[in-house]
Structure 1
Amino acid sequence: MPNDRIIVDLSDRSLYLLDGSNRVIRGFPVGIGKMLTQTPHGEFTIINKQLNPGGPFGVLWMGLSKPHYGIHGTNNPSSIGKEVSHGCIRMFNSDVLTLSSLVPIHTRVTIRP
């Protein structure tokens, strides 16, 4: 939906999809950046999507407007809910596919502490 947006709440390691009225439509657990490579805070947008990007990125990559950062699946599902990444937002593969089907490119992403 065009007015939907994503909020990533680092403190509870969750990603929320909100509708145009700021109501939570879906919530997902996420893995976030570790102490030395923390997930950046701020306002971003999804700029691209790539199926099967290879490596540790699971089944899908959604690139953010901050270069080298994205929301992606993982080949290590036990990392979800932990501070383990190099700053990206990790999701279960099934969750990132669901999210990707619900949000278009240019969706706003707010990452808050």
Structure 2
Amino acid sequence: MPSYRIIVDLSDRQLYLLDGNKVVRGFPVGIGKMVTRTPTGEFTIINKQANPGGPYGAFWMGLSKPSYGIHGTNDPSSIGREVSRGCIRMYNQDVLALKDLVPVGTRVTIRP
């Protein structure tokens, strides 16, 4: 059974799925804009919700920092850019692939 964790690298706007210390997948992400930067640090996924509505795309994974999460988007052109209010945006097909691999409780490291 894999022990997955997630690293979000803000400098290259990528989310990496790791099994132990090995990168298994990489996904491009959109991150927080200058006035609402994505927080850095250690977090965990605390909840998951399909079709949350609004700008959150096909899926939401809430982080242990209130009001922040990893989610899909209804604006695919925002991926790779600094556009969000601090959340990590993914293409809908990517967030749907990721949610099947990571359970609630998965560790998420967000680094500058």
Shorter-chain TM-score category?
Answer: over 0.9
**Alpha-carbon separation, structure 1, partners of 2:40 and 2:2:** 23
- Residue of structure 2 equivalent to 1:7: 7
Q: What secondary structure is seen at the aligned counterpart in 2 of 1:102? A: coil
Query: 5+ residue gaps in structure 1?
Result: none
**Alpha-carbon separation, structure 1, partners of 2:66 and 2:3:** 23
Contact in 2 for aligned 1:2/1:107 (Cα 8 Å): no
TM-score, reference length from structure 1: 0.97
Is residue 2:94 matched to residue 1:95?
yes
Q: CA deviation at 1:2?
A: 5.6
Aligned CA-pair RMSD: 0.8
Post-superposition CA distance 1:27-59 (Å, at most 9, x none) = 000000000000000000000000000000000
**Which runs of 4 or more aligned residues in structure 1 lie more than 2 Å from their structure 2 counterparts after TM superposition?**
none
Q: Which amino acid aligns with 1:45?
A: T
Alignment length, in residue pairs?
112
Q: What secondary structure is seen at the aligned counterpart in 1 of 2:35? A: helix
Q: CA deviation at 1:4?
A: 1.0
